[in-house]
Amino acid sequence: MSLPANVTLHDYSPTPQSFRDAVVEGLSQPRKTIPCQFFYDARGSELFEAICRLPEYYPTRTELGILASVGPELEAAVGDNVRLVEFGCGSSRKVAEILDHLDVRRYVPIDISRTALLGLIDDLNGRFGALRIDAVCADFTAELEIPDDGRRDLQTVGFYPGSTIGNFDPVHARDFLTRLRGLLGAGGFLVVGVDLKKPAGIIERAYNDAAGVTAAFNRNLLQRINRELDGNFEPCRFAHRAFYDADLGRVEMHLVSEQQQEAVVDGERFAFEEDESIHTENSYKYSLDEFRELARAAGYATARVWTDADEFFSIYLLRVADCAGSR
């Protein structure tokens, strides 16, 4: 795909070796795990977009509804001449709500999936063809620098939608937000989506849809290993399991071996007992006060909080505080 003149793509996508190392290390642990960022190959990105359209999956439509209603308030809070940096861009639906209201002069989408980035660029150029885009294909959870555009007059606003912050445990979420302060700069803003605590049944249905799309998304991780790492997993022998642990305040997703079996990954052999699982994802949920305190501990002041009427989901507007620990 040739890129339009207004677009630059900086490609730091994870190498096959980094994927291999993460898989082999994770499967070698007493409790097997694979980092959830590796869900998002081309097929995984397609499946996740399908999840976002499911009737059981409330986060996407709820967040979109909030974003559609808060544009004028957000514009008044952050001002003009914005450099918008999106962490984990996925599709264009959410950022389009931001672009419709903010005076964005430069847009920096960051995503681990090159396929998702190229699709985003194609979508946005149809509506915002004059927008300067510096796209970055990279794992934004690792050390990262924003491309230097030489514009010292721009106000940096980070955009981290979709409750992806919940994939970190609270300590690592605080550390990640602390690191983002260095990218946003003094006085920078961060717009972040946070899934809220609610009855377990509502949460669990969102991760166990009747159509089985989330199960397919989970198993695609094994299919990706087979495709890219010369694996021989039989995904049909692993069950999708997702449940909400109220004590820990998180959803856990697992792939559970339905029998005693072995699998090979790039020449490395791994044994599975019946009912042994690969832990593939956590999604932490917060109360409004819990996340406000987490943001404060990471060095942000909470400028605004918006929720839907049911308080299923929230969007925080955070500002880098003058000093860590200030309100």
Instruction: Give per-residue pLDDT as tens, 117-139.
Output: 999 999 998 889 889 999 999 98
Percent of the chain past pLDDT 90, that is, above it, reads 84
Instruction: Give per-residue pLDDT as tens, 225-271.
Output: 999 999 999 999 999 999 999 999 999 999 999 999 999 999 999 99
pTM above 0.85, yes or no: yes
Q: Specify the range with the lowest mean pLDDT, choosing from 91-95, 195-199, 219-223.
A: 91-95
CATH number of 1-140+151-233+286-321: 3.40.50.150
Pairwise CA distance, residues 253 & 209, whole Å: 13
Alpha helix (H) residue ranges in the chain: 16-27, 42-52, 58-78, 93-99, 114-127, 170-184, 200-206, 213-228, 288-297
* b/e map 20-40, b = 16+ CB within 10 Å: bebbbebbeeeebbbbbbbbb
Instruction: Give per-residue pLDDT as tens, 59-85.
Output: 999 999 999 999 999 999 999 999 999
Pairwise CA distance, residues 203 & 155, whole Å: 36
The domain ranges of the chain are 1-140+151-233+286-321
